[in-house]
Structure 1
Amino acid sequence: MTTTATHLRTVALHWTDLHETASTPAQLGAFGLGLRGYLAALGDADRQEYDRAHRAWRHSHDRDPLQLGDRPIPVRLHILDTMRTVETALVQCADDIAATAQRAPIAAPTARRTAVAPYRTQREADIAAADRRRRTELAHDDVHDPRRWRYTGRRTAPHAALWLLARVERAPGPCRRITAEEERRIGRVAARAADSVERALDIAAQSRTLEQRHDCGGRIDVHGGEGRQPLAHCTGCGRIWSEGGVIAA
């Protein structure tokens, strides 16, 4: 059974892959490019958006054939949508868990008002000064603890996934042990996030029945993902084919 920890690691490990994939124009038209790419070739929304953006770029380029420099490359919008959705869900989950499970930073000590309460001896003053320095250092280290979840700064999906992973695995840090309900919530968010990432990258097993029918009138089931070459199967005549052509008829 896939665990919450595995789901969170999936997001953290594949986030760079999503960034790279988002800026790579989809190559469509062949089974070997993955199930998602094949299905996109059949007319999904992000292919249409890509075509519109590419036509606009080509039109601009044709008007100015001497234009120099880098040209904008249309991005894969469904990848960006996935990244936004996953990041929002994980960061919000980390915000909510930290709000209840993470303890407040240690307060820095205040200076003693010696005019009101003077030290009786220099030795007493030196001991008090040394204690204040020690407590100040502890407070500084605590507030800057890298294991502490912050509501500003680095609020990315992989950082949130790793922080939540530390809570699930009971790693030490400025937090109490999460409750069973908090762990279940992290599990639900992590499972949805990992599923979205795997589907976006076409690394999860997938199957789909196409609306288009085969020449014989039968339905076409497409299976792929997990790095395997997608296969199409006609439920009417039984034909099976891949990028290389018909495998069985």
Structure 2
Amino acid sequence: MHTTATQLQTIARLWPDLEDALGTPNTIAGFGLGLRGYLATLEQYDPEELESRRWHAAHLRTLERNPDQLGTRPVPISLRILEVQRTVEAALHETATQIAAANQLGAHTSHPHRWSFTGQPPGAAWTALWLSARAEGRFWPGRALTGAQLQHLKNVAREALHRVETALDLARDVRELSPEHTCQCGGRIVITGGAGDQPTARCRGCGALWSERGVVAA
């Protein structure tokens, strides 16, 4: 069983892989051109992420207007991976700040385990390890976490790890597509994949089965 601490440690361990994946742009494709690309395209329209995508697009437009950017083109990146990074990092950082604000003691700034409220925020990997130490109850200049804080941290760690593993195709996932994306027979389509398995799509109506190589059975 994964504990909160080990989940946070896994996030820190996988973060370099997420950084490497950032350099792989999203592929816009249909079933015949790759299920992963097709799913990535659908995810761009997840209502829960639209607002953060608008913020990112506005930020990119600001950079494009910056004279320092003239004569250069942005390096292609995966916006899906970028959103995962930003969401997970923000959740971890906010959780650590809340814990430190409520539990950290004293005004000394030289203790290595003390959370700093000033300066450049630490990266996601360091923050995950800091939270892991708090979950394990390791010594730090602060009080032990309460039951409510531990439960909140457990929820954050579980969701963050799920997002990271899904982005890296390490988590197995089963998803039914929305009614806007149905089989030719009108049946609903269920996508299964992840955890290293080849993704497949099956129609609940006629039973047609697709893989990234095309139609497997109909």
Q: TM-score range by the shorter chain?
A: 0.7 to 0.9
Q: Are the counterparts in 1 of residues 11 and 125 from structure 2 also a CA contact under 8 Å?
A: yes
For 1:81, the equivalent position in structure 2 comes to: 83
1:214 matches 2:183: yes
For 1:238, the equivalent position in structure 2 comes to: 207
Shift of residue 28 of structure 1? 4.9
Misfit runs of 4+, over 6 Å: 30-34
Q: Cα–Cα, structure 1 residues 2 and 155, in superposed 2: closer, same or farther, change >3 Å?
A: same
Q: Cα–Cα, structure 1 residues 43 and 186, in superposed 2: closer, same or farther, change >3 Å?
A: closer
Q: Cα–Cα, structure 1 residues 31 and 197, in superposed 2: closer, same or farther, change >3 Å?
A: farther
Shift of residue 13 of structure 1? 1.7
> TM-score normalized by structure 2?
0.74
- For residues 157 and 4 of structure 2, the distance between their equivalents in structure 1, rounded to whole angstroms, comes to 6
Larger radius of gyration: 1
Identity within the alignment, %: 48
- For residues 94 and 181 of structure 1, the distance between their equivalents in structure 2, rounded to whole angstroms, comes to 14
Q: Are the counterparts in 2 of residues 223 and 231 from structure 1 also a CA contact under 8 Å?
A: yes
For 2:171, the equivalent position in structure 1 comes to: 204
Q: Are the counterparts in 2 of residues 32 and 230 from structure 1 also a CA contact under 8 Å?
A: no
CA deviation map 1:69-99 (0-9, x unaligned): 9853232223222222221221111111112
Shift of residue 245 of structure 1? 3.7
- For residues 168 and 223 of structure 1, the distance between their equivalents in structure 2, rounded to whole angstroms, comes to 33
Greater CA deviation, 229-238 or 77-86?
A: 77-86
CA deviation map 1:17-39 (0-9, x unaligned): 22222222134548799854331
For 2:157, the equivalent position in structure 1 comes to: 190
Q: CA RMSD in A?
A: 3.0
Q: Cα–Cα, structure 1 residues 31 and 202, in superposed 2: closer, same or farther, change >3 Å?
A: farther
1:228 matches 2:197: yes
For 2:67, the equivalent position in structure 1 comes to: none
- For residues 230 and 205 of structure 1, the distance between their equivalents in structure 2, rounded to whole angstroms, comes to 10
Q: Which has the higher contact order (CA 8 A, sep 6+)?
A: 1
Q: Are the counterparts in 2 of residues 35 and 223 from structure 1 also a CA contact under 8 Å?
A: no
Q: Are the counterparts in 1 of residues 31 and 210 from structure 2 also a CA contact under 8 Å?
A: no
Matches within 5 A, 1:31-42: 36-41=36-41
Matches within 5 A, 1:3-82: 3-29=3-29, 36-41=36-41, 44-45=44-45, 71-82=73-84
- For residues 25 and 234 of structure 1, the distance between their equivalents in structure 2, rounded to whole angstroms, comes to 29
2:115 to 149, 155, 165: 149
> TM-score normalized by structure 1?
0.66
CA deviation map 1:152-200 (0-9, x unaligned): 3452221111111001111223233222121112112222222222233
Shift of residue 201 of structure 1? 2.5
Greater CA deviation, 227-236 or 147-156?
A: 147-156
Number of residue equivalences = 193
Report the 3-state secondary structure (helix = DSSP H, G, I; strand = E; otherwise coil) of the residue aligned with 1:208.
strand
Shift of residue 42 of structure 1? 5.8
Report the 3-state secondary structure (helix = DSSP H, G, I; strand = E; otherwise coil) of the residue aligned with 2:206.
coil
- For residues 72 and 116 of structure 2, the distance between their equivalents in structure 1, rounded to whole angstroms, comes to 37
Q: Are the counterparts in 1 of residues 9 and 128 from structure 2 also a CA contact under 8 Å?
A: yes
Q: Are the counterparts in 1 of residues 44 and 80 from structure 2 also a CA contact under 8 Å?
A: no
Residue 144 of structure 1 aligns with an amino acid whose one-letter code is S
Shift of residue 234 of structure 1? 1.4
Q: Cα–Cα, structure 1 residues 34 and 149, in superposed 2: closer, same or farther, change >3 Å?
A: farther
